[in-house]
Structure 1
Amino acid sequence: MTTFDGVQAAKNNSGLNQPQTIQQAILEAITEAREVCDHNGINSPNCAVAWDIVEELQAENAHQKQAKHRQTSLESYCEMYPDALECLIYDL
């Protein structure tokens, strides 16, 4: 039986304590979903749960990409040259 909690518990108990990127998690979830569907059939509830996990990870990945602040060219320039006149901030 594969459920979201079961997959998470298996990943937590796998002995791998290294950080994982969301892209790696998506690839692993796709592999797991394919295995579950091959074993249980494509119309099984376990197959649906496995693909739901993939969808949730992909949605989170899209959300994280939207939430990232896109740096302007002036911000990049000011990081490289913080003492440039364009980058100085004056308190009045």
Structure 2
Amino acid sequence: MTDTQTNNIEEKIEQEVEQARAICDISGSNSAECAAAWDAVEELQAEASHQRQNKPKTAFEKYCDDNPEADECRLYDE
């Protein structure tokens, strides 16, 4: 994931947080609208976390994807 992607999703999260606060101020903190707004924030945060966990493949991993039959790419059950 690039820094640009990270910044974009972080900006979206900040916007959703501001929107959720505004909705909850208007609708009340126990309203369905408030809960839905915070659900949207949580979904974006989960996506950001998921994207941070997706590390780029190493040259060896790419090699094994292209050559799964190679001896060095074999996986053995213990």
Map 1:1-92 onto structure 2 (within 5 A): 21-69=8-56
Distance, in Å, in 2 between the alignment partners of 1:63 and 1:40 is: 31
Structure 1 runs (4+) deviating above 6 angstroms are none
- Report the 3-state secondary structure (helix = DSSP H, G, I; strand = E; otherwise coil) of the residue aligned with 1:59: helix
Listed as ranges, the gaps of 5+ residues in structure 2 are: 59-78
Count of aligned pairs between the two proteins: 53
TM-score relative to the length of structure 2: 0.62
Distance, in Å, in 1 between the alignment partners of 2:32 and 2:24 is: 9
Task: Give the number of the structure whose residues are more often helix, by fraction.
Answer: 2
CA deviations over 1:5-61 (Å, ceiling 9, x no partner): xxxxxxxxxxxxxx9700000000000000000000000000000000000000000
How many percent of aligned residue pairs carry the same amino acid? Answer: 47
Listed as ranges, the gaps of 5+ residues in structure 1 are: 1-18, 72-92
Counterpart residue identity of residue 53, structure 1 = A
Distance, in Å, in 2 between the alignment partners of 1:30 and 1:36 is: 10
Structure 1 residue 68: Cα displacement: 2.5
